[in-house]
Chains A and B, each alone.
Chain A
Amino acid sequence: MLTLKQTRRLRTLLLGTLAWLVALALFFPILWMILTSFKTELAAFASPPELWFRPTLENYLHIDERSDYFHYAWNSVVVSFGSTLFGMLLAVPAAYSMAFFETRRTKGTLLWMLSTKMLPPVGVLVPIYLLFKQFGLLDTKTGLVIIYTLINLPIMVWMVYTYFKEIPRDILEAARLDGATAAQEICRVLLPIAKGGLASTVLLSLILSWNEAFWSLNLTSSSAAPLTALVASYSSPEGLFWAKLSAVSTLACAPILVFGWLSQKQLVRGLSFGAVK
């Protein structure tokens, strides 16, 4: 018969093991991609898959020789940070008005915003392409910043709205009694309180923008092409490419993976914001 203490310890151990297994299962595709990037093309296709192999850097050298990685990486940084910044500049005031000055149509507006995410992007490809052509935005970073901002805005508004709804109105009213303007309320009261939630919104937007492939492949060619376009360029109709594709994918994921790792505290805090009242 187990004592209460032993039962607790056993439960902790089991839950810990389960958490590790889930984490490993989630991380396994990334680990496999990294391992494959150090294999030769033939070893990458080996069946059964080789766990022990002689690592090679030839795939990375090939990428260095053929592609200007930093050009694509810089484009990814500019468009994902740029679109996140513009998105937040729009999302915060929108969420503020919806959370604290709710009208009959607020819920409907929020749902309508979200419904735009339900449309398959290819459905609006030709109109968007024509608009971009008309305004000279094809293959420009400005064009991608605009489209990414618009794509992520509904999610950003929803997230910020949810975090703002958790903040008691009394705090804002107190600020108003002290003579704060709307801008001061947002900047000096709301933002510091909701910074965890806002940080996770920023991170989510960054990750979504960084990984977006459909629009970047269709609206850019060379000047503004981000890392997703570089990754796509390593898939081949005729010839072995898994190892090189894994290497370029590792290089494309690395910056955002490191960024996410460094910011995980904010991310977790933001995602659990308001979970316990």
Chain B
Amino acid sequence: MKTRLVPVLMASAIAMSSTAWASTTVTIGTVNNGDMVRMQKLSAEFEKTHPDIRLDWVVLEENVLRQRLTTDIATEGGQFDLMTIGLYETGLWGARGWLTPMENLPASYDVDDIFPSVRDGLSVDGTLYGLPFYAESSMTYYRKDLFEAAGLSMSEQPSWDQIREFAKTLNRPEQEQYGICLRGKAGWGENMALVTTLANAFGARWFDEAWHPEFTGPEWTRAITFYTDLLGQYGPPGASSNGFNENLALFNSGKCALWVDATVAGAFVTDPSQSEVADAVGFALAPKEVTAKGAGWLWSWALAIPSSSDAKDAARAFAVWATSKEYSELVAERYGIAAIPPGTRLSTYRNEAYMNAAPFAAVTLTSLERADPNDPTLKPVPYTGIQLVSIPEFQSIATQVGKLVSGALSGSLSVPQALKSAQAVSEREMKRARYIK
């Protein structure tokens, strides 16, 4: 063994090989989820009709991808020709000139068929910077069988107070059945997405018209007290470490009577191959309270071309194909009509076959139609965004606030302590960024 090590080392050093190269290679940076995996599989069809274009896929975890893309785009590294970015980044990066405008799209693409709220969210001053691959709002999932057995009925859009009563009635921890599952894991895209929509419904806002944070105001205090009490009393143990995936697993294994989360989960909870309660799931709009404004969020994953790409035309050709009606038809043909990427095209929701095959589609449609990032809560705000604030500083502020809210949920901080710290953190960041003095 000992004498064999040296030749092995020598051989490995010599074995540096160069990479293959096709006429135009499009490197695509994307996240790993069901819709993206299907896109990757179906992309062979695109390569068949475009033999001069080769697609290279770089699939990364969401936060890693975000860091990777930010580094590459800010240094003009040119490593990516096409990338999957969210609604939040598209506006910010488009405004900085980091993205290529999606102009002169073919008439067959039918850009007017894209949901107006999604199209607006991906545009800066009327210029589109990303083509939406799928979009989502949030909604209420509930167990119809448990509701029926308890004699409860769900309205089209319940209030958070009603949700609490339902959760209280259906909470049976001794049977490992919890009244409600909600996001508790810290993160601007995890607990803060849900918490911000809940706060919107309670009339709270991130900033007043002069960009002063409002965490110590009565609305936030009421909202966070409600959230921690609700989840603390009727939620599963260790709720402060549960994000989307953990709650999905709990709901699918029949341990949650109610769950408020992304509309995209509709396809997972009704899929018998991964859900034990597939036939018993009911859908309602995300809960309101003092207002219905901003009760359901708006998010989209879009395909965007960085300015540093040297294969812009090929990248655009693929982005157009992957977000087209033609692609939706291909998905329907191969994986069934319910697998069409949701939330982007109005025509999908005009398709009777889709509406019949996807029991969650009607609520998804209403949620997306009602989601208005320009009017996210009761009082006027200086920003756009429902579960986010479209300023570069938001990610950092919301990450810190998310930790504090998660701390309040786990009991390591009191609600007033958490909100006081959230106020201090956001004031400091906003002063540093010169929004306020």
Interface pair A199/B2, CB less than 8 Å apart? yes
Whether B37 contacts A66 by the Cβ 8 Å rule is yes
Does B87 lie at the interface of the complex (its beta carbon under 8 Å from any beta carbon of A)?
no
Q: Which A residues are in CB contact (< 8 Å) with B189?
A: 237
Asked if A217 meets B33 with Cβ closer than 8 Å, knowing A46-B253, A138-B77, A241-B245, the reply is: no
Q: How far is the CB of B259 from chain A (nearest CB, A)?
A: 14
A130 to B5, CA, bound (A): 36
Chain B interface main SS type: mixed
A130 cross-chain contacts in B, Cβ below 8 A: 75
Quick one: CB contact mask for B34-78 with A, threshold 8 Å, 1 for yes?
Answer: 100100110000000000000011111110100110011011111
Known: A218-B71, A233-B59. A240 touches B248 (CB 8 A): yes
Contact across chains for A42 and B33 when beta carbons are under 8 A apart? no
Contact A81 B253, CB 8 Å, known A232-B60, A238-B264:
no
Answer whether A129 and B58 are a contact pair too, CB < 8 Å, given A42-B249, A235-B32.
Answer: no
Contact B68 A217 (CB under 8 A): yes
Q: Report how many residues on chain A are interfacial, defined by Cβ distance under 8 Å.
A: 52
Please measure, in the bound complex, the distance between the C-alpha atom of A222 and the C-alpha atom of B27, giving whole angstroms. Answer: 8
B93 beta carbon closer than 8 Å to chain A = no
**Most B Cβ at <10 Å: residue of A42, A46, A126:** A42
- B157 → A minimal CB distance (Å): 23
CA gap between A129 and B64 in the complex, in Å? 15
- Least Cβ–Cβ distance between A270 and chain B, in angstroms: 10
With the chains together, A14 CA to B237 CA distance in Å?
38
Chain B residue with Cβ nearest A84? B9
Q: Quick check: is B268 within 8 A (CB to CB) of the other chain? A: yes
By a CB distance below 8 angstroms, the chain B residues around A223 are 19, 56
B343 beta carbon closer than 8 Å to chain A: no
From the candidates A84, A129, A221, A235, name the one contacting B75 in the complex (CB within 8 A): A129
Known interface pairs A199-B2, A221-B58, A266-B2; A234-B77 also in contact (CB < 8 Å): no
Interface string of A198-218 (1 = CB under 8 A from B): 010010000000000000011
Number of interface residues of B (CB under 8 A): 59
| A239 with B245, Cβ < 8 A, contacts A42-B274, A46-B253 known | yes
Which DSSP category, helix, strand, loop or mixed, fits chain A's interface?
helix
The distance in angstroms between the C-alpha atoms of A206 and B41, with both chains bound, is 34
Query: Given the complex of chains A and B, what is the CA–CA distance between A199 and B29 in angstroms?
Result: 39
The residue of chain B having its C-beta at the shortest distance from the C-beta of A122 within the complex is B67
Count of A-B residue pairs with CB < 8 Å: 146
The answer to whether A262 has its CB under 8 Å from any CB of chain B is yes
Provide the residues of chain A in CB contact with B57, threshold 8 Å. Answer: 222
Interface string of B19-31 (1 = CB under 8 A from A): 1000000010101
Contact with B along A111-132 (1 / 0, CB 8 A): 0000000000000011001100
Contact partner of B33 (CB less than 8 A), chosen from A138, A238, A262, is A238
Q: Does A190 contact B (CB under 8 A)?
A: no
Given contacts A218-B68, A263-B1, contact A85 B249 (CB under 8 A): no
Select which of B2, B5, B79 is within 8 A of A138 by beta carbon: B79
B16: contacting residue among A78, A234, A238, CB under 8 A: A78
Verify if A69 is at the interface (C-beta below 8 Å from B). Answer: no
Chain A residues near B253 (CB-CB < 8 A):
42, 45-47
| Closest residue on chain B to residue A223 by CB atoms | B19
Measured in the bound complex, the distance between the Cα atoms of B59 and A67 in whole Å is: 10
Nearest-CB residue, chain B, relative to A78:
B15
Question: 1/0 per position for A65-82, CB-CB distance to B under 8 A?
Answer: 110000000000110111
Query: Which residues of B come within 8 Å of A, CB atoms?
Result: 1-2, 5, 8-13, 15-17, 19, 27, 29, 31-34, 37, 40-41, 56-62, 64, 67-68, 71-72, 74-80, 176, 189, 244-246, 248-250, 252-253, 255, 262, 264-265, 268, 274-276
Between A and B, 14 residue pairs with Cβ closer than 8 Å are A66-B41, A77-B12, A78-B12, A85-B10, A202-B9, A221-B56, A221-B58, A225-B58, A232-B64, A236-B33, A237-B244, A238-B33, A239-B248, A241-B245
- 6 A-B pairs with the lowest CB-CB distances in the bound complex, closest first: A81-B12, A45-B249, A233-B59, A223-B19, A235-B61, A222-B56
Q: Which residues of A contact B (CB under 8 A)?
A: 40-42, 45-47, 65-66, 77-78, 80-82, 84-86, 88, 125-126, 129-130, 133, 138-139, 141-142, 145, 195, 199, 202, 217-218, 221-225, 229, 232-241, 262-263, 265-266
